Amino acid sequence: MSGGEAADVLLVSLGSTGGLRAADAELQGSLERAGASVAMAAPAAPRPLRTLALTDLAWARAARSAARAELRARVVGAVIYSSTTAALLWPRPGAIRFDAPSSGNRPGRHGLWQRPLERRRLGQAPLLLPWSREGLAETPGAARSGGRALVLPVPVEPSGPSLHDPPARDIAAITYAANPSKKGLDRVLSAWRRLRAERRSAGSEELLVAGASEQELERSGLVAGGEQGVRVVGVCGAEEYRALLRRARVFVCAPRREDYGIAQLEALADGCLLVTTAAPGPYAALPIARALDPRLVGDDLEGALRAALDDPVSDYAARAREALLPFSRAAVDRQVAQELLPRLFS
């Protein structure tokens, strides 16, 4: 029996990563600024499991339990499931918000049970809310029919005043290495070491590695303690990490697959040049990076790093800010108020 305070929207927030939690907090804020009341269902994190298939099952069950508890406690006008995993075992149909479907990021045995159930849920959902057009393109064709999709990006804002003077940009390069293999940290480190070996100014230049602990990276053999030119800063708080971005000249990454790339968008927002490989997946920052400076995108990371550090395009940061206007909080707020809420309750 529902007896609690009613809510216009129930947001089932999987919250399995920091990026997902931040994205859900942004969506909650946009909905509330548009005048909607929002209840959050945040599942408790399950214990670590050996495979992605088992991990997804545990998270899907946790999301179902959290959603059921909220639906019993209050009358809810509409439900948004944040990620296809949160929707797999849903207790009630609702909109599905996602960066990438498991049909793209759970190949082979990793998505054995998720992919067919995901196709069913995507077909049943009254509204699909992909983070990007590329993410929508990875969904099965039947799920994209009927005009049920609204592309709703995650807002990205500068974290503070941009630092333009070269002395203020005292960090040569930075990378984000949570899930180091997927992020291609090995390729980034290899390119950085080759570049340092040939540069006379290398002694004063550092690559900062954020998002993973020094112990984890040493155990994997990716870094060695005391290596000159590479400094592991570990898992930083959001403010500390963004402060490092504002000091860095270059953000470099070589993902093997990219489901959205919020770290790259944040780096562009904070004035970094983006050096990246052309990864598969719905990589939102990739077309922006190509348009800003195609020399910095490709498999030759060493050459791209050299160009970014030695011959940067002078108006790169200004054009990046302009390219990110559709990702601004104001733009997303307008979309939520003018498009999302009317479609949720139509």
CATH number of the domain enclosing 144: 3.40.50.2000
Domain presence at residue 36: yes
Looking at the fold, whether 94 and 201 belong to one and the same domain comes out as no
Looking at the fold, whether 316 and 187 belong to one and the same domain comes out as yes
Looking at the fold, whether 105 and 226 belong to one and the same domain comes out as no
Domain presence at residue 131: yes
Domain presence at residue 26: yes
Domain presence at residue 101: yes
Looking at the fold, whether 184 and 290 belong to one and the same domain comes out as yes
Residue 164 confidence (pLDDT): 60
Enclosing domain of residue 308: 166-324
Rg over CA atoms, the chain: 21
Looking at the fold, whether 142 and 206 belong to one and the same domain comes out as no
Please state, as a whole number, how many other Cβ atoms lie within 10 Å of the Cβ of residue 126.
Answer: 15
The DSSP result for 2-36, as a single string, is --S--EEEEEEE---SHHHHHHHHHHHHHHHHTT-
Domain presence at residue 2: no
pLDDT tens-digit profile, the chain (346 residues) = 456 789 999 999 998 888 889 999 999 999 999 999 999 999 999 998 999 999 999 999 999 999 999 999 999 999 999 999 999 999 999 999 999 998 888 988 888 899 999 999 999 999 999 999 999 999 987 777 778 999 999 999 999 876 665 567 999 999 999 999 999 999 999 999 999 998 876 678 999 999 999 999 999 999 987 789 999 999 999 999 999 999 999 999 999 999 999 999 999 999 999 999 999 999 999 999 999 999 999 999 999 999 999 999 999 999 999 999 999 999 999 999 999 999 999 8
β-bridge pairing 207-210 and 128-130: unpaired
Looking at the fold, whether 254 and 121 belong to one and the same domain comes out as no
Number of domains in the chain: 2
Looking at the fold, whether 182 and 277 belong to one and the same domain comes out as yes
Looking at the fold, whether 149 and 170 belong to one and the same domain comes out as no
Looking at the fold, whether 130 and 207 belong to one and the same domain comes out as no
Phi, psi of 315, deg, nearest 5: -105, 20
Gap between the Cα atoms of 341 and 111, Å rounded: 32
Domain presence at residue 1: no
Residue 68 confidence (pLDDT): 98
Provide the sign of the torsion angle of the four alpha carbons 333, 337, 339, 344, taken in this order: positive
Residue 174 confidence (pLDDT): 98
Residue 259 confidence (pLDDT): 93
Looking at the fold, whether 203 and 236 belong to one and the same domain comes out as yes
Domain presence at residue 75: yes
Give helix then strand counts, H and E, for the chain: 16, 10
The closest of 13, 327, 340 to 158, measured between CA atoms, is: 327
The closest of 271, 245, 250, 252 to 324, measured between CA atoms, is: 271
Looking at the fold, whether 306 and 319 belong to one and the same domain comes out as yes
Provide the sign of the torsion angle of the four alpha carbons 99, 253, 214, 238, taken in this order: negative
**pTM beyond 0.75:** yes
Looking at the fold, whether 22 and 150 belong to one and the same domain comes out as yes
